[in-house]
Amino acid sequence: MDVQAVYSVGVPEGQDVLQVRFFGTLELWRSSAALPLPRFAVSQSLLAYLLLYNDRPHARVKLAGTFWPELPEARARAALRRHLWDIRRAMGDWLILSDREKVWLAEDIPLWRDVTAFEDALSEGTLHSLSSALSLYRGRFLEGFYDDWALLESERLHEAYLQALHQLIALTKNRGDYEAALTYARSLVSADPLLESAHREIMHLCYLLGRPEAALRQFERCCELLKRELGVEPQAETLALAREISARGGVDIHLDLTGASATEIPYALEPNIPMPLIGRDEERQRLVELMQAAFQGQGGLVLLGGEAGVGKSRLLRALAGDAEWYGATVLWGRTPEPGLGTTYHALREAVTSLFDLYGVEPLMQHTNIIWLQAAAPLIPMLAEMLSDYPPLPPLGEEHARTRLFEAFAHIILAASRIRPVLILLEDLHWSDPALQAVLRFLAPRLSEGRVLV
């Protein structure tokens, strides 16, 4: 039967719209008033089933088998009749119609269901739609109902809710909104307390927000919960993260981890773990502050000077590690000795690695194809990717250079709309006038994006 459905995240306006709320406890509303529900729980479950699966009439024999599988068919059909009567006694006969063989929802009733609005919002996958979906999730589907069909639907929708939280954490982290990401991560732990990766997410976000003590308190709660509920120690990845936060934040861990296997936890003296940076705390902290501001949308360019051997390269590597902790894309470029490189060598190297990471399609979503084409002559990989596009019209030398500089700016800014970007260019004391000119051009433009050079 055709039932007119109004699907939107918000509850639609209109006196005749029947609002059905499945999340949490079952509720039906019409004309701003709550409708009475049937007396018996089985009747309410049957009503919910008919409201959810309203796209077709339901055979009586199938409904009887679904709700009373343990009874002979005749007794199951009799039970169905009694509970249909219970529904009509509470609500009247305007909603559920039937004949001797079938049961269906009345036609031409505008219907809004929180479950449908929830799934529609999830399918859009945007920050706004996902947060709207979460506002509809008041609790598990039909809490307190234990019919097989309801339990299966509850589990499916709960998994969708958890996935939405994962997506929102990623989206808000990508925007640099760590407070919002932390809120979603806490919701994830509340919904699935034994999900260890969610505890790690909270730990990491607390650290990024300058709260290492809170990060390690979360670690301690995670350890206690795992021990109490499952009798296990945290995963090696969780232990490693706690030690990293402790080392970076200068905060002690208040749990005895001596029982953990040494092979499970990376220590600073292992050959594949770099030694901590010594003697550059002030410079590193200042760079981290500038990087945090850039990742919040106040991009810019910083020049780091000093004599050879004073630790500039190690400082940059430490900053790169910090940037990766913030979920940023880190791009490297090195200026070779005079006469050994190409024009714009360090920047070309960094931008080339950007296309290694992303390809063309994601960047095309955030900038015009002409800027990719303008940079293609300097980036062989990009030229090959765009070989099917017609070439740009030729320009005079000065205009061509300006177009190229604009291309670098647009490409870098496009990448920063996907994730924050840190570009590290080494040995600029060997840079040629062309590279210096493009960096001077880029400096004011970077303020438009989440990028630090």
Phi, psi for 183 (deg, rounded to 5):
-60, -45
Boundaries of domain holding 43? 1-185
Reported pTM: 0.70
Cα angle value 313/316/320 (rounded, 5°)? 140
Cα angle value 324/329/330 (rounded, 5°)? 75
Q: Are residues 1 and 27 located together in one domain of the fold?
A: yes
13-to-7, 17, 52, 364 alpha-carbon distances in Å:
12, 7, 20, 39
pLDDT at position 304, please?
Answer: 83
Under a CB-based contact definition with an 8 Å cutoff, are residues 157 and 118 in contact?
yes
Alpha carbons within 13 A on the beta-carbon side of 57: 13
Q: Are residues 288 and 348 located together in one domain of the fold?
A: yes
CA distance 218 to 238: 11
Q: Are residues 221 and 344 located together in one domain of the fold?
A: no
Q: Are residues 134 and 203 located together in one domain of the fold?
A: no
Q: Are residues 247 and 205 located together in one domain of the fold?
A: yes
Q: Which of 136, 164, 185 marks a domain boundary?
A: 185
The SS3 assignment for 365 reads: coil
pLDDT at position 257, please?
Answer: 54
Read off the tokens for 290.
């500038």
Q: Are residues 163 and 209 located together in one domain of the fold?
A: no
Read off the tokens for 200.
């790690």
pLDDT at position 308, please?
Answer: 62
Q: Are residues 30 and 115 located together in one domain of the fold?
A: yes
Q: Are residues 160 and 307 located together in one domain of the fold?
A: no
Q: What is the CATH number of the domain that holds 101?
A: 1.10.10.10
CA distance 74 to 372: 72
Q: Are residues 104 and 232 located together in one domain of the fold?
A: no
Q: Are residues 350 and 269 located together in one domain of the fold?
A: no
pLDDT at position 265, please?
Answer: 36
The continuous run of DSSP H or E covering 20 comes out as strand 18-21
pLDDT at position 322, please?
Answer: 85
In tens, the pLDDT along 409-432 reads 999 999 998 889 999 999 888 888
The structural domain count of the chain equals 3
Q: Which of 273, 292, 312 marks a domain boundary?
A: 273
**Residue numbers of the chain with a pLDDT score lower than 70:** 1-15, 254-281, 306-311
Q: Are residues 10 and 103 located together in one domain of the fold?
A: yes
Under a CB-based contact definition with an 8 Å cutoff, are residues 29 and 82 in contact?
no
pLDDT at position 384, please?
Answer: 86
Q: Are residues 68 and 173 located together in one domain of the fold?
A: yes
Q: Which of 150, 185, 220 marks a domain boundary?
A: 185
Under a CB-based contact definition with an 8 Å cutoff, are residues 419 and 328 in contact?
yes
